[in-house]
């Protein structure tokens, strides 16, 4: 039976696909290679042994399915974390790809801001994004890929309820990491079908957060429609004002001429 967190060992998320798993392994294996690592040799040996053990399981489809079943049964392995500590080793190993990343950012400057935004949620999420971009080279889909990764990340820790995941995102982006961990604990214990309003209300109360009910999809659509209608009404009013101004100018111009014509 398993006893180690292989995802933490590789510095990746449990949702990482095969490309990310193998790329993370390659980066770490290169960093801790006996002929290249300048640190303590015993440390290199221990880390090399662990990452080799991790890749032997996670790179094998059947073994990974079996491992993921074990992983999900251990709640302590699935507590929400920003992943800074877990991603430290991989981040250093990924420095080998800094040159490639800089070149990519020269052509697609928004990659930096996308990656920085993902890092606010979890460092491992940002590193995963970098790996996918450099390995798969789907730069035209860079925004869609980041959104998919972020959504998968929050669903893995907070379930499928949109109001819960939306609330979790807002907590993390505001720096309310303890509140996010508490939310993760409630979802882990109560399940995705629990009353989201009760959970959110409890978190707001416990952490003295202002209450603002998340907008539903229909509310957002209606709000967008209302904004569009307001824009159309304003445009209509502006056109009417322009037309009236035009009539006034015409009247002031032609009025005297008409009076002269009558006098003659």
Lowest mean per-residue pLDDT among 19-28, 132-141, 231-240: 231-240
Task: Give, as one character, the DSSP assignment of residue 210.
Answer: P
Q: What is the pTM of this model?
A: 0.73
d(CA 183, CA 163): 12
Contacts of 43 (CB under 8 A, 6+ apart): 37
pLDDT confidence of 88, banded at 50, 70, 90? confident
Q: Give every CB contact of residue 199 below 8 A, 6+ residues apart in sequence.
A: 164, 183, 186, 187, 190
Q: Which residue has better confidence, 189 or 237?
A: 189
One CATH from 3.30.429.10, 3.10.450.40, 3.40.50.2300, 1.10.287.110 for 6-158: 1.10.287.110
SS3 164: helix
pLDDT in tens, 113-124: 999 999 999 888
Question: Rounded mean pLDDT of the chain?
Answer: 84
Nearest-angstrom CA–CA distance, 196 and 113: 31
* Domains of the chain, residue spans: 6-158, 159-214, 216-264
- The terminus-to-terminus CA distance of the chain in angstroms comes to 112
Of 105, 157, 106, the C-alpha closest to 129 is: 105
Task: Tokens for 107, please give them.
Answer: 């052509």
* 8 Å CB contact between 180 and 80: yes
Q: What is the DSSP string of 90-139?
A: HHHHGGGGHHHHHHHHHH-THHHHHHHHHHHH-HHHHHHHHHHHHHH--G
């Amino acid at each position: 039976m398993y006893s180690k967190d292989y995802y933490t060992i590789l510095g990746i998320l449990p949702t990482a696909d095969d490309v990310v798993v193998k790329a993370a392994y390659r980066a770490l294996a290169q960093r801790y290679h006996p002929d290249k690592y300048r640190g303590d040799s015993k440390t290199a040996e221990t880390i090399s042994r662990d990452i080799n053990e991790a890749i032997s399981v996670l790179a094998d489809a059947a073994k990974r399915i079996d491992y993921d079943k074990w992983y999900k049964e251990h709640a302590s392995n699935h507590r929400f974390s920003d992943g800074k500590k877990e991603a430290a080793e991989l981040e250093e190993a990924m420095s080998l790809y800094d040159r490639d990343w800089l070149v990519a950012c020269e052509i697609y400057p928004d990659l930096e801001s996308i990656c920085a935004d993902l890092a606010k949620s979890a460092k491992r999420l940002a590193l995963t994004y970098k790996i996918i971009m450099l390995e798969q080279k789907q730069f035209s889909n860079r925004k869609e890929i980041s959104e998919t990764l972020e959504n998968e990340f929050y669903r893995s820790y907070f379930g499928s309820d949109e109001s819960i995941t939306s609330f979790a995102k807002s907590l993390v982006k505001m720096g309310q990491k303890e509140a996010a961990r508490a939310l993760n604990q409630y979802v882990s214990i109560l399940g995705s079908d629990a009353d989201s309003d009760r959970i959110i209300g409890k978190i707001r109360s416990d952490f003295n957060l202002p209450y603002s009910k998340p907008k539903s999809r229909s509310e957002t659509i209606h709000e967008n429609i209302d904004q569009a209608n307001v824009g159309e009404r304003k445009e209509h009013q502006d056109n009417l004002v322009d037309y009236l101004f035009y009539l006034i100018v015409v009247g002031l111009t032609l009025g005297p001429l008409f009076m002269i014509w009558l006098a003659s």
